Amino acid sequence: MQKSKKVVILGHFGVGKTSLIRRFVSNQFSDQYKVTIGVHISKKVVDLSDEDSVSLILWDLEGTDRLEQIREAYLLGTHGVIFVFDINRPSTFQNLKRDLETVKSKVQDRPTVVIGNKKDLVPEEEISSLLEEHDIPYDYLTSAKTGETVEEAFLHLASILHHDS
């Protein structure tokens, strides 16, 4: 049986939210940065088993460093959240814990997956020390450019949402 789940993608601007969705939905990537305004909606049906699938309606929200200002209407009926930061730009993750608290309060504790994106731009050995130094609670480190770990992150949330319902 197929269920529709609304997933909102949040995070500061320029962290690669749109690119992650594009990689996940159509397995494409562009180096050109196009700023998202408002919200873009796309859909991907994820097969979880032979019988089960879940339809993810992905709400790609425009990036902001002021999460408290996100329009409430965009978040109505949210089932899950993907929060994205850019490993290269500390400004996008230095207040991560506070940002996640804000998100949590706005979506009534819905399941949230935290992604550190653009891992292709930082040497492997620097990433862990960087994130440990800032005490960053991330779930996945991805690269929308190479596709690394992108599907895993989305599928992880899809499976949580499926079991949730």
Partner 1 sequence: MTPEQYQKRFIEKHLQFIELDTAGSVLQNTGRILPIQKGQNISEAHPFFESLEPVFTALDAPQSLHCVNLDLEGREVIVDIQVHPADKGFMLLVQDLTSHYTGYQAVAQERNESIIQEELIVLKNAELEERERFKNLFIQNFSHELRNPLMSSMAITRILSESPLNTEQQHLIEALRETNTHLKLMLEDTLSLSMIASGKLELKPVLFDLKKMLDVLSITYKTKAVSKGLDFELSSHERVPQWVEADRKRLFQVLTNLLDNAVKFTEQGKITLEVGFNQQYANKVNLHFSVTDTGKGIPEAKKNTVFETYSQLTSPEKEQGTGLGLALVKGLLTLMDSEIQLQSTVGKGSVFSFDLEVKVPVESGWKATLEKDADSIRQKTTVRGRKYRVLLVEDDERVLTVLFKMLMETGQFYLDVLSDGAQVLEQVIENPYDLILMDINLPNTRGDQLTRIIREFPFKNVERLPIIGITAFAYEDHLKAYKASGMNAVIPKPFEKEELLDTIFSCLKS
Contact footprint for partner 1 (CB under 8 A): 4, 6, 13-14, 33-43, 55, 57, 59, 62-63, 71, 73-74, 76-77, 88-91
Tokens 């088993």 — which residue?
Answer: 49
d(CA 31, CA 8): 23
Q: How far is the CB of 125 from partner 1 (least distance, A)?
A: 15
Q: By C-beta, is 89 or 97 nearer to partner 1? A: 89
Question: Within 13 Å and on the Cβ side, how many CA atoms surround 13?
Answer: 13
d(CA 33, CA 14): 8
Q: How far is CA 123 from the centre of its chain?
A: 22
Q: By C-beta, is 6 or 145 nearer to partner 1? A: 6
Q: By C-beta, is 4 or 152 nearer to partner 1? A: 4
Q: How far is the CB of 155 from partner 1 (least distance, A)?
A: 19
d(CA 81, CA 109): 10
Q: By C-beta, is 87 or 141 nearer to partner 1? A: 87
